[in-house]
Amino acid sequence: MRRRERVIAALGAALVMAAAVATTVVLVAHGAHEVAPEPRSDVVPADLGFRALNACIPPWQGEGGFTISIDVTTGHVEFAALGGDVDDLAARDAYVEAINTCLSQFTFAGQPFGPGHRIDAIAERLLAYDLAWRWALPCLSGHAVPVDAPQLADYLQTNLAPWANFYDRAPDDDFDALLDVHHACGTGYLPREAS
């Protein structure tokens, strides 16, 4: 090698080293930082609608049934008794009032007592299956929420919404903790940020 070629090679190596050092300094100074989690919304996601209702309704003691009305503009739910024991209207009205007081603390998203988010396209259902197995199910397991893991055949049947019952077997004792788990794990068909 001639002297000129050696000088050019040494200069090139020095420039490469300088670029590597500069890149390292920039990455260390401006590299990845821990991202603060998004604050949890207190809006009850649609797939937890029945869980919130169960948290507010003690066992039904009377005869008759009940109705639930949903104001879709505000997301508020109202409980009402149908029929029942007419000899004790005060007790029935107190029962209904206690439930409505409890439900008033929640704002519900979407259709909280429906059959679950509908996905018709097979490609989207396969993506939901992949999301469930790669993210939602391990996340729920990590939060000690038992799940009956759906199989691929469940996702290929367009009349089923296997993600709709991911939270059905979660403990009933602390709905606020369940909202935290939902915030961490999502719906099972959308990434956490979009749930």
Q: What is the pLDDT of residue 156?
A: 92
Q: What is the pLDDT of residue 141?
A: 92
Q: What is the pLDDT of residue 195?
A: 44
Q: What is the pLDDT of residue 143?
A: 92
pLDDT at 191 over 60: no
Q: What is the pLDDT of residue 44?
A: 87
| Average pLDDT score over residue span 165-176 | 84
**Per-residue model confidence as pLDDT tens digits over 55-73:** 888 776 666 677 788 787 7
Tally Cβ neighbours within 10 Å of residue 195: 19
H-run or E-run covering 67: strand 65-71
Residue with tokens 């259902």: 125
**Per-residue model confidence as pLDDT tens digits over 89-116:** 787 788 888 888 988 888 888 777 766 6
